[in-house]
Structure formats: C-alpha cells, structure tokens
Structure 1
Amino acid sequence: MLSSIFLQSGGGGAFVLFFLIFLVTIGMVVWTYSDARKNSSHPAFLWAVVVFLAPLLGIVLYVLLGRNA
C-alpha cells in the first residue's frame, strides 16, 4: 500500500534521487577541499570547483594528479 502511494506521488521518487545525488556531490566537494588543503600544493578551491563541475572525472583527476602523497 505504501509503495503504491509513493509511486503515485507525482515525481517524489525522482526528487529523492536528485537530492541524494546532490548530497553525495556536495560531500565529495567538501572532502576534496579539506583533503587538498592538507595534501596538495595546488589551490584547494580550484580542486573543489573541478569536482563540483564534473564530479566523477574531477575526483579521479584529483586523486591521480592533485595529491602530493
């Protein structure tokens, strides 16, 4: 019964999915910024912007190129 109400809610499921993806993206940006402040010689703000604009590619580029560890 609850699942049929959820499916008929007019797109609420899509909103929840979008919200979760947004939270994961913001989490990746925050982690990248805090990690880049400690482990990178490049500006942390720029790495955070890269991860915000292209989340998956940005995080891979940061781990491969941005960290001095």
Structure 2
Amino acid sequence: MLTIPLQAAGAIAFLFGLVSLIVHLAIILWVYSDAQSRSDQPAFLWAIVAFLAPLLGLVLYLLLGRK
C-alpha cells in the first residue's frame, strides 16, 4: 500500500491551491482584456462574473459576451 507522509500531502495541497489561484487569475485577466476589444458590454462586469464563477463565467462570456 502506498502511503504519503503528511508533510508531502501538505505540499501537494499547497501546490494545487497555488495552481488553482494562478488559473483563476489568468481567466479573469483574459476575460477582461478580451472583453475590452470584443464585447459591447463593459469589460469590468465580465471580469466580475469571471471572478465570482471562473469556469461558468468563462463559458458565459464565450457564449454571450463576444460579438
């Protein structure tokens, strides 16, 4: 049976959280910058939607927000 020491599990959880945070911020920044050039609605509103619900906000922006 494979066992993982608690210290390694904590490091894995930290790295997962860090990667999740980076992906979340990347989605927000991409939606904001793309909405500035390709959307009729205000870009900051799409950034707020992406902040509150990153994956759902991205899908909604791609379906509804772009010209």
- Return the TM-score normalized by structure 1: 0.84
Q: Deviations over 1:1-55 (max 9, x none)?
A: xxx6xx4426111011001011001001000000000000101001011011101
In structure 1, distance between residues paired with 2:32 and 2:40: 12
Matches within 5 A, 1:35-50: 35-50=34-49
1:58 corresponds to: 57
Percent of residue pairs identical: 49
Cα RMSD, aligned residues only = 1.3
In structure 1, distance between residues paired with 2:13 and 2:48: 26
Moved beyond 4 Å, runs of 4+: none
Which amino acid is 1:33 matched to? Y
Give 5+ residue unaligned stretches, structure 1.
Answer: none
2:24 corresponds to: 25
Aligned residues: 63
- Return the TM-score normalized by structure 2: 0.86
In structure 1, distance between residues paired with 2:58 and 2:23: 12
Give 5+ residue unaligned stretches, structure 2.
Answer: none
